[in-house]
């Protein structure tokens, strides 16, 4: 073979070999993920995502908070598995309780659990929260009102008109009893009593029965009961009285409820809520439902347990004939709110409709 042809042959062979080796190298790199689009996407998915963090403040003090929200939120955080964490705070820890609604609205707090009225809600339905007098006998009555008498829709409508806050759910808590250091055995015994109480419950007791409602920070109540600055509290049922310690500084418990249950709600900052994925929104609703259920049976358990076993109270009661009169007075009290707004009228109509159904149904929906 001529020398020139020989060299040309080997150059071609070398070039083919180089191309082949380069192709194999590139293929190997792709198989190992060294530039593959699919591999890059997979690696991106494997990177830890930034945890969503919320802050929740409730109306409850530290000892009660574990039953109000902490246990449920702990489960939420576990199931969310690092994707989202909700930090729980007791009343006044982040902001004063009366400013809590505004704090949720401006986003300094992401979520709140409270009655509408005490946290400073501007909604026209806020007054019907907490212990609005005699709207039901037990917690289930309040759940029925929201779920079956249109109050869910009314609350969604009311808060749909307020920027920055989304109302998520209503729940019922414990009955409102009066714990005092003076015995109450008739309606007349209520006159002049200085009671720590919520706004509309206190307004009702003042207008109809001469009670003197007293407003003060919750942390000052125990000392006020011990010094005689307060005669008692119209604030909770017997379960909560034991849980927070007020059972230790009062002597008598009136078993007739001023209201059959407390009504509270769950609120979120709208922007915070809308920014989380749909599956976390759904998990939040499921968590709230479980929390509402837990409190319903935990409070109901305690009302029986402590009445049966406590040695901290002497129990008193107002005769049924007098107490029926009090319930009739409550219905008259409702009427003054009917003209506040068309929505307020719808709420009162729901109360009255359900009261009439309970009356026709008889015990246990009404007193014997």
- Domain coordinates of the chain in residue numbers? 49-174+262-301
Q: List for the chain the helix, strand, coil content (%; round to 5).
A: 55, 15, 30
Identify the pLDDT of residue 11.
46
Identify the pLDDT of residue 287.
98
Is residue 34 within 8 A of residue 215, CB to CB? The reply is no
Q: What is the CATH number of domain 49-174+262-301?
A: 3.40.190.170
The whole-angstrom separation of Cα 263 and Cα 58 is 14
The whole-angstrom separation of Cα 366 and Cα 368 is 7
Identify the pLDDT of residue 216.
86
Q: How many CB atoms lie within 10 A of CB 92?
A: 17
Q: Judging by DSSP bridges, how do beta strands 84-89 and 52-58 pair with one another?
A: parallel
Identify the pLDDT of residue 19.
45
pLDDT tens for the chain, 368 residues long, are 555 554 454 444 555 454 445 454 444 545 554 445 555 455 555 545 799 999 999 999 888 999 999 999 999 999 999 999 999 999 999 999 999 999 999 999 999 999 999 999 999 999 999 998 877 889 999 999 999 999 999 999 999 999 999 999 999 999 999 999 999 999 999 999 999 998 888 888 998 889 999 988 888 999 999 999 999 999 999 999 999 999 999 999 999 988 889 999 999 999 999 999 999 999 999 999 999 999 999 999 999 999 999 999 999 999 988 887 777 777 788 888 888 999 999 999 999 999 999 999 999 988 77
Sign of CA dihedral 28, 33, 34, 38: positive
The whole-angstrom separation of Cα 104 and Cα 155 is 17
**Largest Cα–Cα distance of the chain, in whole Å?**
132
Identify the pLDDT of residue 48.
55
Identify the pLDDT of residue 4.
53
249 φ/ψ angles, rounded to the nearest 5 degrees: -125, 15
Enumerate the β-bridge partners of residue 84: 52
Give me 40's structure tokens: 């890059």
The whole-angstrom separation of Cα 335 and Cα 204 is 12
């Amino acid at each position: 073979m001529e020398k020139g042809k020989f060299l040309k042959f080997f150059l071609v062979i070398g070039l083919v070999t180089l191309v082949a080796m380069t192709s194999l190298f590139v293929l190997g790199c792709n198989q190992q993920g060294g530039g593959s689009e699919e591999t890059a996407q997979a690696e991106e998915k494997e990177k830890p995502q930034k945890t969503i963090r919320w802050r929740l403040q409730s109306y409850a003090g530290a000892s009660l908070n574990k039953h109000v929200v902490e246990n449920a939120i702990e489960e939420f955080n576990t199931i969310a598995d690092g994707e989202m964490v909700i930090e729980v705070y007791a009343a006044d820890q982040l902001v004063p309780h009366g400013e809590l609604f505004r704090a949720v609205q401006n986003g300094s707090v992401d979520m709140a659990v409270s009655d509408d009225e005490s946290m400073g809600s501007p909604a026209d339905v806020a007054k019907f929260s907490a212990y609005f007098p005699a709207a039901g006998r037990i917690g289930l009555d309040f759940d029925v009102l929201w779920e079956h008498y249109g109050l869910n829709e009314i609350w969604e409508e009311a808060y749909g008109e307020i920027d920055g806050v989304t109302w998520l759910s209503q729940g019922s808590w414990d009955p409102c009893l009066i714990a005092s250091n003076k015995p109450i055995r008739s309606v007349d015994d209520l006159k002049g009593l200085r009671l720590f109480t919520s706004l509309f419950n206190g307004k009702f007791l003042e207008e109809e029965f001469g009670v003197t409602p007293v407003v003060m920070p919750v942390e000052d109540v125990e000392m006020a009961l011990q010094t005689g600055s307060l005669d008692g509290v119209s604030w909770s049922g017997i379960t909560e009285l034991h849980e927070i310690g007020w059972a230790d500084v009062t002597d008598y418990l009136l078993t007739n409820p001023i209201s059959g249950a407390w009504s509270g709600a769950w609120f979120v900052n709208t922007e915070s809520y809308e920014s989380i994925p749909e599956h976390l929104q759904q998990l939040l609703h499921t968590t709230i439902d479980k929390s509402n259920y837990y409190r319903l049976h935990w409070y109901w358990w305690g009302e029986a347990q402590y009445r049966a076993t406590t040695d901290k109270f002497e129990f008193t009661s107002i005769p049924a004939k007098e107490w029926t009169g009090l319930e009739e007075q409550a219905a008259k009290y409702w009427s003054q709110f009917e003209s506040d707004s068309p929505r307020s009228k719808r709420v009162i109509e729901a109360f009255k409709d359900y009261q009439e159904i309970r009356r026709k149904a008889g015990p246990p929906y009404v007193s014997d």
